[in-house]
């Protein structure tokens, strides 16, 4: 008989499809939504119309009213798969996701077919074999509709046509879906009480469930964190719906019309609120569960109110854990996966107002319904369940009562105790806010880290693509060997949109002493910091002797020695220790080290002080130590940031000689300075930077040929008005400024003062 109704519906649907095929194809979306809503409605009706579940009585395949263990297994599995299929197909028209489509076309037909085959047994399980009641008939229709619609999706979506990635994704998601959708009676029906021992007091069983809760939370987060928002919403909605079905395994319509049995405990409400919020985006309601339920669920999991007789696989125990794991994990996951925004103060206030409404509601419900059912204890504020656990003081507080009479019915309240209860929850809500803030902070850090890590990998891959495969440490930019090459470098600080340095490019060749000039705050030090790797450039690339500082930092850093604009060194070390340390870092062998250090000690007159602690040195001595440490590995590129400031004439002479000698050996000396005279005498070429932009690049020989001093040239450039005027100046005296490309204005970028 059960097959007859189901078959009739199936034939009817197939027939209607062939008759109205064109119309259905034309309005496919509308029909899809009608079918999905019908499936959800049908499931709702028969599920809550059923008053019992025979599978609850089955223990380890042996008990219950079923004829054999095999029937129990096949019935249980068919119910399990049927729920998954029904939920998946119900969601299908609302989410355009491949994984959902694949579940609808590959899994749902199997689930529906299995349910169809086992229909008599399912009906038996839910109605005790009564094939003519409302529950049975609707169930039969549900199975038929699901079968018809899932087969339609299967054919429509190209049967088994899929990419390898889709197949892998399908099978990877399967175990998770099966676990989250497990019906509460299933473990006991299949495995009996094999895992004995109750589930409280941190017993092994209790701990297993606790571990499961955190594995669920962390596992789902890790799986879904890289998916987009709508994917996460779909996945979480699916989970919340299948777990809701599991949670309501012993619910029927009578529960909804009996207010004293309403699921008004906080964690119970979460089972309904979460899918509702995911479906309808009720923001205010969601943050209520986010702030209030999670902590409650956590405490409930730590101290489950189960009996000693409640064992690991009992349906009530499984349901308890499904409920609390969801109440704990789902709100957190929803925000962590950014389905809902992170709460602000406004949302916190909403949630507290929501909680106040809820609290007052359950207060009244408790007080009112206690007259009809003494066991009524929503949110545990009517009985002494919590007070007993807290101790005598709480029980004493609960002794203070106030009674109101409404229509002759006494309504008993515990004002002090209940007010304290409320305030404690508000405080806990605040605590949760703190915890969430930390959690989100940690999430931000890891998100940023993973994004950057991805960028590093992409950079490495890009380098590989550009220059082919190369060994680590191998010089790949052959064009920039023996050179310092800076290409279109931009630098902004933090998340600031303004550039401190903008579109800087230059090439310095070996054997050159290159002067870098500019007023204070022009961006000289910023450029130098980018070159030496103290700060990364926001855009552009810097190549040092064939190595990119951003992509091959270790190799690039081995190529230069750096003297900063301040004399900050490790002051607790002696000069010798410090230089030896630097030499060690650059792998300078003992012989070279002795030789170079001795020469530098003589050149810079530091032999008598080298074994004193650096903190006892004067400014000039510290500067000399910085110079010695920069030269100890004989770098290809020597960078000095304002090296002569504060030095006495002798020291200046010594440093200048060092620079000349280093350049003579075919190395590059790159230095910034404000002392124009020295730059003029020392440098081969100079570059002037102003407000983060290169204004001029000229050789000293060219200046000499023009009969112009560097000072005159510098002042002319610095005092000239910005871009527009400079462009005119460029037109008038093209020979004065060598590189006219520096005047090109970038329309979208703005600049702020150098940091």
Partner 1 sequence: MTKFKTLFLMQLKEKMDLSFLKSKKQTMFKIVFSIVGFALITAFAYLVLWLCQLLNIFSAINHIPLSVMAVVLFVMTLLNFFTCTVGLSKALFYSKDNMMLITLPTPADSLFLSKMLVYYINEIKKTFTFLIPVFLAYGILSGIGVIYFIWMPIWMVVFAAVPVLLGGLFAIPTNYILRFLQAHPMIKVGVLILLLVGVVWGAMYLIGLIPEDINLIESWTVVSQWMSEFLSGFTTNMFPFYALTLFFCGKYVDKTSILFTEYSWQVALVLIGVIGGLILLNFLISRPLYYRIISRQFEFNKKEIKRPKFNHARRPFWATCVYEMRRLLRDSSVLSGCLTMLIVTPIAVMFLNAVYAAINTRMLGDYFTMAFNVFVILLFVLAGNIYMSSIFSRDGEALYLNKTKPSSPFKILFPRLFLSVVTTFITVLLSTIIFTTSSGQTILNSICIFFMLLSVALTHVVWSAEFDFMNPQSTRFATEGSGATSPNETKSTILTFAMSAICFGLVLFFMLLGGGSVWLKLALVSVAFLCYRVWVFYYKTKILFKEK
Site residues for partner 1 per CB under 8 A: 202, 344-345, 430-431, 434, 437, 445, 449, 452-453, 456, 532-536, 550, 553-555, 557-558, 562, 564, 566, 568-574, 576-578, 580-581, 583-590, 593-594, 597, 607-613, 615-616
Q: Are 69 and 91 in contact (CB under 8 A)?
A: no
The 10 Å Cβ neighbour count of residue 438 is 10
Q: Whole-angstrom distance between the N-terminal and C-terminal Cα of the chain?
A: 83
Distance in Å, CB of 346 to partner 1, minimum: 11
Distance in Å, CB of 303 to partner 1, minimum: 15
d(CA 351, CA 445): 27
Distance in Å, CB of 675 to partner 1, minimum: 23
Burial of 500 (0-12, 13-18, 19+ CB in 10 A): buried
Q: Are 674 and 597 in contact (CB under 8 A)?
A: no
Distance in Å, CB of 737 to partner 1, minimum: 33
Distance in Å, CB of 223 to partner 1, minimum: 19
Q: Which residue has the tokens 């229909």?
A: 119
Q: Where are the beta strands (DSSP E) in 552-654?
A: 560-563, 637-641
DSSP 720: S
Looking at the Cβ atoms of 247 and 617, the one nearer to partner 1 is 617
Looking at the Cβ atoms of 264 and 335, the one nearer to partner 1 is 335
Looking at the Cβ atoms of 149 and 350, the one nearer to partner 1 is 350
**Treating both helix axes as pointing N-terminal to C-terminal, what angle do 315-336 and 229-247 enclose, rounded to 10 degrees?**
160
Task: Tell me phi and psi for residue 258, to 5 degrees.
Answer: -115, 95
Looking at the Cβ atoms of 461 and 734, the one nearer to partner 1 is 461
DSSP 290: I
**Nearest 10 degrees: Cα torsion 116, 122, 126, 129:** 100
DSSP 480: G
Looking at the Cβ atoms of 17 and 433, the one nearer to partner 1 is 433
Both tokens assigned to 290: 């986010």
Looking at the Cβ atoms of 562 and 743, the one nearer to partner 1 is 562
Distance in Å, CB of 344 to partner 1, minimum: 8
At residue 322's C-alpha, the angle toward residues 318 and 326, to 5°, is: 165
Distance in Å, CB of 533 to partner 1, minimum: 5
Q: Which residues contact 526 (CB under 8 A, 6 or more apart)?
A: 491, 500, 501, 535, 692, 754, 755
Looking at the Cβ atoms of 9 and 542, the one nearer to partner 1 is 542
Helix (H, G, I), strand (E, B) or coil at 687: strand
The edge-to-edge listing of strands for the beta sheet with 668-672 is 560-563, 637-641, 668-672, 513-517, 685-690, 693-699
- Residue 97 to residues 88, 216, 239, 276, 711: CA-CA distances in angstroms? 11, 23, 15, 20, 68
Q: Are 355 and 430 in contact (CB under 8 A)?
A: no
d(CA 37, CA 279): 13
Looking at the Cβ atoms of 281 and 615, the one nearer to partner 1 is 615
Looking at the Cβ atoms of 466 and 572, the one nearer to partner 1 is 572
Distance in Å, CB of 449 to partner 1, minimum: 5
Looking at the Cβ atoms of 160 and 434, the one nearer to partner 1 is 434
Looking at the Cβ atoms of 18 and 434, the one nearer to partner 1 is 434
Helix (H, G, I), strand (E, B) or coil at 298: helix
**Treating both helix axes as pointing N-terminal to C-terminal, what angle do 164-180 and 204-224 enclose, rounded to 10 degrees?**
150
Distance in Å, CB of 161 to partner 1, minimum: 41
d(CA 51, CA 137): 14
Q: Are 342 and 230 in contact (CB under 8 A)?
A: no
Looking at the Cβ atoms of 212 and 428, the one nearer to partner 1 is 428
Distance in Å, CB of 393 to partner 1, minimum: 12
Looking at the Cβ atoms of 403 and 608, the one nearer to partner 1 is 608
Both tokens assigned to 645: 């400031």
Distance in Å, CB of 573 to partner 1, minimum: 6
Distance in Å, CB of 299 to partner 1, minimum: 17
Distance in Å, CB of 534 to partner 1, minimum: 5
Q: Which residues contact 733 (CB under 8 A, 6 or more apart)?
A: none
d(CA 749, CA 17): 60
């Amino acid at each position: 008989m059960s097959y007859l109704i189901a078959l009739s519906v199936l034939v009817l649907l197939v027939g209607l499809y062939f008759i109205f095929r064109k119309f259905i194809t034309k309005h496919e979306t509308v029909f899809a939504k009608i079918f999905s809503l019908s499936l959800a409605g049908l499931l709702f009706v028969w599920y809550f119309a059923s008053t019992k579940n025979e599978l609850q009585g089955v223990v380890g395949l042996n008990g219950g009213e079923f004829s054999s263990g095999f029937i129990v297994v096949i019935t249980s599995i068919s119910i399990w798969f049927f729920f998954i299929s029904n939920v998946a197909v119900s969601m299908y028209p609302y989410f355009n996701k491949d994984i959902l489509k694949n579940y609808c076309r590959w899994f749902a037909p199997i689930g529906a077919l299995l349910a169809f085959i086992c229909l008599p047994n399912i009906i038996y399980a839910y109605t005790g074999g009564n094939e003519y009641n409302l529950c049975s008939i609707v169930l039969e229709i549900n199975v038929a509709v699901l079968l018809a619609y899932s087969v339609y999706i299967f054919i429509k979506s190209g049967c088994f046509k899929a990419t390898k990635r889709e197949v892998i994704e399908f099978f990877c998601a399967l175990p998770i879906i099966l676990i989250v959708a497990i019906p509460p009676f299933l473990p006991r029906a299949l495995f009996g009480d094999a895992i004995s021992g109750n589930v409280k007091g941190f017993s092994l069983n209790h701990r297993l469930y606790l571990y499961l809760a955190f594995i669920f939370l962390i596992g789902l987060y890790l799986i879904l964190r890289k998916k987009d928002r709508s994917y996460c919403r779909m996945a979480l909605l699916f989970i919340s719906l299948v777990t809701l079905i599991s949670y309501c395994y012993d619910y029927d319509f009578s529960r909804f019309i009996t207010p004293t049995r309403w699921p008004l405990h906080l964690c119970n409400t979460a089972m309904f609120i979460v899918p509702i919020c995911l479906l309808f985006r009720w923001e205010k309601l969601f943050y209520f569960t986010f702030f209030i339920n999670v902590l409650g669920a956590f405490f409930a999991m730590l101290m489950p109110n189960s009996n000693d007789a409640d064992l690991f696989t009992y349906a009530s125990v499984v349901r308890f854990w499904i409920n609390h794991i969801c109440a704990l994990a789902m709100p957190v996951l929803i925000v962590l996966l950014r389905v809902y925004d992170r709460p602000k103060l406004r949302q916190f206030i909403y949630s507290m107002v929501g909680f106040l409404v809820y609290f007052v509601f359950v207060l009244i419900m408790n007080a009112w319904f206690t007259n009809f059912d003494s066991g009524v204890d929503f949110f545990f504020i009517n009985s002494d369940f919590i007070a007993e656990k807290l101790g005598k003081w709480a029980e004493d507080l609960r002794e203070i009562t106030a009674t109101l009479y409404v229509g002759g019915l006494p309504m008993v309240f515990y004002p002090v105790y209940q007010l304290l209860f409320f305030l404690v929850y508000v405080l806990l809500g605040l605590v949760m806010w703190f915890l969430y803030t930390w959690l989100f902070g940690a999430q931000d850090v890891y998100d940023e880290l993973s994004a950057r890590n991805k960028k590093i990998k992409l950079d490495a891959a890009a380098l590989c693509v550009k220059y082919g495969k190369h060994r680590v440490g191998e010089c790949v930019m052959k064009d920039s060997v023996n050179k310092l090459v800076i290409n279109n470098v931009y630098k902004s600080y933090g998340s600031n949109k303004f550039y401190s340095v903008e579109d800087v490019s230059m090439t310095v060749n070996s054997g050159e002493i290159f002067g870098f000039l500019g007023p204070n705050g022009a961006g000289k030090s910023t450029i130098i910091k980018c070159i030496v790797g103290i700060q990364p450039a926001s855009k552009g690339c810097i190549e040092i002797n064939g190595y990119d500082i951003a992509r091959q930092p270790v190799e690039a850093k081995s190529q230069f020695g750096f003297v900063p604009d301040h004399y900050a060194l490790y002051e607790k070390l002696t000069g010798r220790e410090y230089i030896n340390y630097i030499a060690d870092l650059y792998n300078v062998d003992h012989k070279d080290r002795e030789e170079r250090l001795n020469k530098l000690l003589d050149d810079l007159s530091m032999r008598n002080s080298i074994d004193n602690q650096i903190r006892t040195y004067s400014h000039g001595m510290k500067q000399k130590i910085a110079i010695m440490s920069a030269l100890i590995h004989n770098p290809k590129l020597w960078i000095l940031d304002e090296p002569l400031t504060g030095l006495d004439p002798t020291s200046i002479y010594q440093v200048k000689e060092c620079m000349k000698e280093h350049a003579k050996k075919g190395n590059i000396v790159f230095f910034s300075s404000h002392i124009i005279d020295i730059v003029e005498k020392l440098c081969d070429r100079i570059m002037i930077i102003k407000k983060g932009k290169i204004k001029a690049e000229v050789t000293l020989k060219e200046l000499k040929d023009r009969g112009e001093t560097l000072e005159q040239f510098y002042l002319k450039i610095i005092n000239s008005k910005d871009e527009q005027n400079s462009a005119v100046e460029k037109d008038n005296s093209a020979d004065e400024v060598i590189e006219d490309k520096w005047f090109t204005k970038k329309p979208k970028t703005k600049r702020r003062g150098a940091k």
